Amino acid sequence: MTLHPSAMSDEPATNPVIHADVPDIAMIRVGDTYYMSSTTMHMAPGLPIMKSTDLVNWDLIGYCYDTLEDDNDALNLENGRSAYGAGSWASSIRYHDGTFYVTTFANTTGKTHVFTTDDIEHGPWKHTTFEPVLHDHTLWFDDDGRVYMLNGVDNLRLRELMPDLSGLKPGGVDEVVIRDAGAVAAERRQLGAEGSQMIKHEGRYYLSNITWPRGGMRTQIIHRADQLTGPYEGRVVLQDKGVAQGSLIDTPDGDWYAYLFRDHGAVGRAPFMVPMRWEDGWPVLGKEGEEGVAPDTLDLPQGRGGMGNLIASDDFDRPDELLEKLSAPRGEHDYVREAFPLVWQWNHNPDNRFWSLTDRPGFLRLTTGRVDGTLPEARNSLTQRTFGPTSFATTSIDVSGMNDGDVAGLAAFQRHYGYVGVKADAGRKSVVMVGAATNEPREVESVWLDQDVVYLKVECDFTGFHTRQPERATFFFSLDGQVWRPIGEAVEMRYTLPHFMGYRFALFNFATETPGGHVDFDFFRIGPGDEAAP
């Protein structure tokens, strides 16, 4: 990856190194390139892969899957079921004998999932599954050629796999190798030791886990052993700011870092980078002289800084050859990955019959395919991350094709969501702001709309996290794209279950009465601060 000199900065990098939702970090280095996988749970496509050459600046290069499973009511948002906060969770990433392995698990499918490729940047990925579900596992290829997963909560179990990773090996190793692993941090815990990630250094095995002492904070612990099967001894290596769970990684020059994450309020779980060194066979986290502290600044250049291609504006223009491919009829599960920049993810599996970039070239058309009651129930909502400390998104929407009962617009989406949009009712349309601060949506303000095109904007301010003040989303509309009018009230953004992820910007259209109506989005613009780009 080559960075343009004009985009580089010698200013020091700061934590969080990515001020957005990139949780459950798993990481490897292959030569001088780092690859990282993360969790996006119920989103599709899912299991993102990111690439870096400096550990600070990251590029999204792909996903392991378009959909985790097609015939699944929860993943399809069907029959009253959803996969909010579920789907695929913490992953493991390895490179072994020329093959990349990314593995995850999903209680939603009841399976452990294995993805393999010999080209991590372009794919394709082979997908296999087996039972049982191995929660928060770390995949491990040992020196003797045998392969394992180590997983569990507090009682951490080592399980031997078939050589082709097709399932558990009959008669293979299957034993708890660390009992009550979180006890090294506290006797009583509100979260047992989990999130396993393993490395081997100078002949020893090192297992990283998170735990959470009752009344304390998220804590990083390490266990080490001379043999894979143990015995293991453990200790706390970081208990600061709640920074924990992730990977230990070295540079080609021999420097070491812990790449962890912090619950960073409504923006989500954000990656933190902590310098480390080895002392008496143990990792010591923190800058020299500041051991045990997750630093605010790093002794590394910022480089590009910012979000890289983890966020992106989109004018929905596509080249003719892609439009020709997209013009072919599609079934519900016939997704065309190259139709959208990687930054976009659908909220649950999309129904590919009801989105189009060809019905009106240069626009994204979302057509309602069924009746839904609220935004969280709506299928085919197209999303990307919000980011901190402040960020905005704008769009232009043509609402001439709406049916009565349709609602379409732009959201700051989580359980306690808010949106600005257009509602069609009794032959008239209105711009509305709706908030769901108490789990139930409430229309806060409505303004009659007498034209077909309207501009919408959402601004997200996450700065309150550090001052323990509310983090807020505010909403605007414009009739000409120049003069903006606030509408409704600010929504207090809160990171909550069941969504279990940071706020997302979302484009949506759902029907409450009769399916078949459509809206056309002309563009989506995203950026830092609160000023819409021209």
Nearest to 104 by CA among 138, 75, 74, 78: 138
User: Given CA atoms 377, 378, 380, 384 in this order, what sign does their dihedral have?
Assistant: negative
Helix (H) or strand (E) holding 465: helix 464-467
Integer Cα distance of 296 and 261 in angstroms: 13
Q: Are residues 255 and 321 in the same domain?
A: no
Integer Cα distance of 18 and 37 in angstroms: 14
CATH code: domain of residue 169: 2.115.10.20
Indicate whether 14 belongs to any domain: no
Buried b (16+ CB within 10 A) or exposed e, 258-295: bbbbbbbbbbbbbbbbbbbeeeeebbbbbbeeeeebbb
Q: Are residues 80 and 214 in the same domain?
A: yes
Nearest to 111 by CA among 93, 147, 80, 135: 135
Helix (H) or strand (E) holding 467: helix 464-467
Indicate whether 240 belongs to any domain: yes
Retrieve residue 181's tokens: 């692993």
Helix (H) or strand (E) holding 47: strand 46-52
pTM here is: 0.95
Q: Are residues 82 and 154 in the same domain?
A: yes
Indicate whether 5 belongs to any domain: no
Indicate whether 45 belongs to any domain: yes
Q: Are residues 267 and 356 in the same domain?
A: no
**Residue-wise pLDDT tens for the chain (534 aa)?**
233 333 567 899 999 999 999 999 999 999 999 999 999 999 999 999 999 999 999 999 999 999 999 999 999 999 999 999 999 999 999 999 999 999 999 999 999 999 999 999 999 999 999 999 999 999 999 999 999 999 999 999 999 999 999 999 999 999 999 999 999 999 999 999 999 999 999 999 999 999 999 999 999 999 999 999 999 999 999 999 999 999 999 999 999 999 999 999 999 999 999 999 999 999 999 999 999 999 999 999 988 877 788 999 999 999 999 999 999 999 999 999 999 999 999 999 999 999 999 999 999 999 999 999 999 999 999 999 999 999 999 999 999 999 999 999 999 999 999 999 999 999 999 999 999 988 789 999 999 999 999 999 999 999 999 999 999 999 999 999 999 999 999 999 999 988 999 999 999 999 999 999 999 999 999 999 855 433
Q: Are residues 61 and 118 in the same domain?
A: yes
Retrieve residue 43's tokens: 């989103």
Q: Are residues 51 and 167 in the same domain?
A: yes
In the chain, how long is the greatest CA-to-CA distance? 75
Integer Cα distance of 90 and 246 in angstroms: 10
Q: Are residues 271 and 338 in the same domain?
A: no
Q: Give yes or no for a contact between 402 and 424, defined as CB atoms under 8 angstroms apart.
A: yes
Quote the strand ranges of 264-363, DSSP E: 269-279, 282-285, 297-301, 345-347, 355-356
Q: Are residues 198 and 332 in the same domain?
A: no
CATH code: domain of residue 470: 2.60.120.200
Domain of residue 200, residue span: 19-296
Retrieve residue 188's tokens: 């009583």
Q: What is the pLDDT of residue 79?
A: 96
Indicate whether 8 belongs to any domain: no
Tally of structural domains, the chain: 2
Beta bridge partner(s), residue 210: 194, 220
Indicate whether 384 belongs to any domain: yes
Domain boundary residue among 243, 263, 296?
296
Q: Give yes or no for a contact between 499 and 85, defined as CB atoms under 8 angstroms apart.
A: yes
Domain boundary residue among 247, 271, 296?
296
Indicate whether 325 belongs to any domain: yes
Q: Are residues 48 and 161 in the same domain?
A: yes
Q: What is the pLDDT of residue 533?
A: 38
Q: Give yes or no for a contact between 158 and 171, defined as CB atoms under 8 angstroms apart.
A: no
- Distances, alpha carbon 497 to alpha carbons 86, 216, 250, 328, 373, in Å: 10, 20, 34, 39, 20
Q: Are residues 319 and 278 in the same domain?
A: no
Q: What is the pLDDT of residue 531?
A: 53
Quote the strand ranges of 296-389, DSSP E: 297-301, 345-347, 355-356, 364-367, 382-385
Nearest to 269 by CA among 56, 65, 41, 102: 41
Domain boundary residue among 296, 320, 346?
296
Indicate whether 306 belongs to any domain: no
Q: Are residues 129 and 270 in the same domain?
A: yes
Q: Are residues 204 and 318 in the same domain?
A: no
